[in-house]
Amino acid sequence: MRTHKLCMLGDFGVGKTSLVARFVRSTFSAKYLTTVGVKVDSKEVALPGREPLKLVVWDIAGRGALDGVGENYLRGASALLLVADGTREASLASALNLLMQSRRSLPNAVVALAVNKLDLVDRWEVAPATLAELRNTLPVFETSALSGDGVEAAFADLAARLAP
Amino acid sequence: MTPMPALPSAVEDYLRDTLMRRAHPLLLSFGDDWQLRELHGDPAVYGLDAEHGLRELQDLFIGLPLDGHQDLPFVEFSNGRSAHVHLIADAPGFHVLLLDAEEERERQRAQQQLGHDAVLTGHEQSKAIGRLTEIRNELERQRASLEEANALKNALIATLSHEFRTPLTSIFGYLHLLERRLDGSGNAAQALQAVRRNATYLFTLAENLLEYGRGESGAALLNPVEVDLTLLARDLDAMFRPLAEDKGVAFRVDLLVEETAPPVFDEVRLRQIVVNLLSNAVRYTTKGEIACDLVWRDGRLSIDVADSGIGISAEFRDSVFKPFNRGGQSGSKGAGLGLSIVRRLIEQMRGELRLESELGRGTRFRVELPPLARAAAKSAASHAAPFPRGVQALVVDDDPDIAQLLEVLLIDLGFEVRVAENASQAIAEATRQPPDVLLIDVELPGLSGNAAVFQLRSHGYRGRIVTLSATSTGDARDASLRAGADHYLTKPLNLDQFVGVMQRALQGEASGQNPDADRRG
């Protein structure tokens, strides 16, 4: 089975670990526990009409993902899932900034953006028009690690684009 | 420089033991194809069992060359333990060395957690403060608008009261006259008493109704119709001549019409103006004459009401137009509302009002009114135009009764209606075939209506969106509008308002452009 490395990138507290937990184990914990270093998980993804593939998901600590150490974590990745928190507009800028930086070492990685915490949409700072604009550049998914909305779709989109 | 002497062997042994104990080193030596050749240490420390352990290690080096050194700090393994992972090239194979980083990770995590929590809490706090400020401002705005609404309501009730009282005053006036002529005896007198009783009852009922209707307020629109001036003059004469003559005051109404077409006015308001002016004149005149001249000439209606009453002194000329102020015309009955209402009505009709008066000699009010344009009537009619047929609506509500109610209402209005019962269905349906109007409940199970609205908007849906909610707070409304809705309606639905909102939605008016439009919702 083909295996691809996928890195989660985004500011701290946006829900990267929660998205991975939802995707890999279908679990959710509301408690925020900051990630130090990296946690590696994997999951097979079924693709309609094609061979399934295995995603090895690197849940990299928020921020500092691209200081010297972070570059090490990114090497060899073929997919990036940028994560922003809809309730913190600044985290969207962080995610896009991380994308620009990672493009230097990963020019060919497939990329998607997950704007997380859709369950708190009433408190979102990110405007729908902003995401409509971003969609011209990259696939955008509104996700909720709590409810699971959009999570499978975001990973599936990356997997589909990794498949030959 | 002298070479550093070797450490005493006892110290070296101690150091080695300590470091080994703390670092739990695990060394795995591989051939170039991940063939395990040697193993030092305990793989169980990192949860690397024989079945999955090798796969877990291989996953770490996907996409990385195995012929150079690699250094991956703080890698959390499936048993939750953290290690620094080093790959040491040793052609033709390589070694993978794991050193325990659990203690260090926990220390870093604790520090980092404090920092991150502080930042996240700070963000939440500043948002909460922002929200509180908004709430305070909103409360302030609401307080101001309540005060305004209250003042308006009071004025409206006063106006209504006055409108009821004026004709009743006339009824009572005639009763009085008739009663005097009949000398209080016989069947006719009894009949008049019955009329008086019932008129009094009607008056009480009217007052009760007004009390009951205090909740409703709002400015009424003008209703332009062709006015029969001859009939108006005759009515005025019939209403006021007996009242005036009863006081020994001469009374006349003269009409001069030079235009061929009848004037267009809001007849009720026009009558109110003249009736109020004449009531005022009758009230304050005890001798001489009251004259009313109506002239319809050069496209303007002028109303001239002159009396030989007590007059108004110069200092009170402005204040007589204020409510509850009789401007020095003391010693009379009445709430002092008539002139304030006259002025308000004339302003509404874009007319002019002038007052001439001499204390002790009389008062003259001159009113000039331009007729109302007929166009106003037409535009009022077009506002209530029927809906175009075949407009596509998508109704989303998990309550089948509400969904059906909305469906029936919309079909009645000529819409073509589809129904969805949750947000995901709504998104799929609106994406497959975008409706012209989406009506969506905010409190849907699972993904909320607002989340669906947000997603549709962020995917470029450009149709109109009306959200429906059982929550009637400004915050809830704002959240919906922020998510991308154009209108916000609260349940239970007010059908008139519903139809109004649908009309505005189709005309492309959003609440943002008309912020008060739906606030009452």
Residue pLDDT, tens place only, B225-277 = 788 898 888 878 877 787 788 789 999 999 999 988 888 887 767 877 888 78
Q: How many CB pairs under 8 A join A and B?
A: 113
* Dihedrals phi, psi of B286, to nearest 5 degrees: -120, -10
How far apart, in whole angstroms, are the C-alpha atoms of residue A34 and residue B257? Answer: 89
Write the CATH number for A134.
3.40.50.300
CB contact under 8 A, B105 and A36: yes
* Domain-terminating residue out of B358, B377, B396: B377
How far apart, in whole angstroms, are the C-alpha atoms of residue B327 and residue B320? Answer: 5
Question: A56 to chain B: which residues are within 8 Å by CB?
Answer: 59, 62
One domain, residues B38 and B149: no
CA angle B420, B423, B426 (to 5 degrees): 45
Residues 6+ apart with CB under 8 A from B240: B251, B253, B278, B279, B282, B290, B292
User: Residue B347 corresponds to which tokens in the numbers above?
Assistant: 């302003």
Helix B102-182 vs helix B229-246: crossing angle, to nearest 10? 70
CB contact under 8 A, A73 and B72: yes
Domain assignment present for residue B444? The answer is yes
Question: B126 to chain A: which residues are within 8 Å by CB?
Answer: none
Q: Which domain holds residue B171?
A: 128-215
One domain, residues B231 and B353: yes
In A, minimum Cα distance to B480 occurs at A122
Question: A40 to chain B: which residues are within 8 Å by CB?
Answer: 56, 59-60, 75-76
CA A126 to chain centre: 17
* Selected residue with higher pLDDT from B316 and A106: A106
In A, minimum Cα distance to B66 occurs at A76
- pLDDT at residue B209, rounded to an integer: 44
- pLDDT at residue B259, rounded to an integer: 87
CB contact under 8 A, A122 and B61: no
- pLDDT at residue B2, rounded to an integer: 65
How far apart, in whole angstroms, are the C-alpha atoms of residue B440 and residue B448? Answer: 10
- Given a cut of 60, is residue A50 above it in pLDDT? yes
Domain assignment present for residue B56? The answer is yes
Q: Which stretch of B130-144, B172-186, B307-321 has the lowest confidence by average pLDDT? A: B172-186
- pLDDT at residue B168, rounded to an integer: 67
Report the percent of chain A where pLDDT is more than 70. Answer: 95
The answer to whether B467 touches B487, Cβ cutoff 8 Å, is yes
The answer to whether B56 faces chain A, any CB pair under 8 Å, is: yes
How far apart, in whole angstroms, are the C-alpha atoms of residue A98 and residue A79? Answer: 14
User: Residue B369 corresponds to which tokens in the numbers above?
Assistant: 């009114």
One domain, residues B255 and B360: yes
Range with top average pLDDT, B159-173, B321-335, B499-513: B499-513
One domain, residues B205 and B244: no
* Selected residue with higher pLDDT from B439 and B194: B439
One domain, residues B244 and B152: no
Closest Cα in chain B, distance from residue A76 (Å): 4
Measure Cα distances from A43 to A1, A61, A158, B292, B513 in Å: 12, 20, 13, 95, 49
* Selected residue with higher pLDDT from A51 and B512: A51
Among B120, B448, B451, select the one facing A13 at the smallest CB separation: B120
Mean pLDDT of chain B: 80
Q: Which residues pair with B85 in a beta bridge?
A: B72, B98
Mean pLDDT of A81-106: 92
One domain, residues B394 and B494: yes
Domain count, chain A: 1
Helix (H) or strand (E) holding B212: helix B186-212
The answer to whether B446 faces chain A, any CB pair under 8 Å, is: yes
- Given a cut of 90, is residue B294 above it in pLDDT? yes
One domain, residues B234 and B342: yes
Residues 6+ apart with CB under 8 A from B124: none
One domain, residues B368 and B390: no
Write the CATH number for B15.
3.40.1840
Which of the four pLDDT bands, split at 50, 70 and 90, describes residue B490? confident
- pLDDT at residue B513, rounded to an integer: 36
One domain, residues B233 and B360: yes
Mean pLDDT of A88-116: 93
- pLDDT at residue B219, rounded to an integer: 41
Closest Cα in chain B, distance from residue A8 (Å): 15
* Domain-terminating residue out of B54, B80, B100: B100
The answer to whether B458 faces chain A, any CB pair under 8 Å, is: yes
User: Residue B74 corresponds to which tokens in the numbers above?
Assistant: 């703080």
How far apart, in whole angstroms, are the C-alpha atoms of residue B263 and residue B297? Answer: 10
User: Residue B158 corresponds to which tokens in the numbers above?
Assistant: 């006063």
What would the pLDDT profile of B50-93 be if each residue is shown by its tens digit?
778 888 899 999 888 888 898 999 999 988 999 999 999 998 89
* Domain-terminating residue out of B377, B402, B437: B377
- pLDDT at residue B465, rounded to an integer: 96
Residues 6+ apart with CB under 8 A from A69: B73
Q: How many CB atoms lie within 10 A of CB B447?
A: 23
CB contact under 8 A, A124 and B482: yes
The answer to whether A145 faces chain B, any CB pair under 8 Å, is: no
* Selected residue with higher pLDDT from B152 and B482: B482
Q: Are strands B26-30 and B93-100 parallel, antiparallel or unpaired?
A: antiparallel
Q: Which domain holds residue A52?
A: 3-162
Among B63, B74, B454, select the one facing A37 at the smallest CB separation: B74
Closest Cα in chain B, distance from residue A21 (Å): 13
User: Residue B404 corresponds to which tokens in the numbers above?
Assistant: 């059906």
Domain count, chain B: 4
In A, minimum Cα distance to B127 occurs at A123
One domain, residues B232 and B363: yes
The answer to whether A39 faces chain B, any CB pair under 8 Å, is: yes
Mean pLDDT of B202-208: 54
CB contact under 8 A, A40 and B75: yes
Residue among B276, B302, B304 at smallest CA distance from B368: B302
Over its C-alpha atoms, chain A yields an Rg (Å, rounded) of 15
CA A121 to chain centre: 19
Over its C-alpha atoms, chain B yields an Rg (Å, rounded) of 43
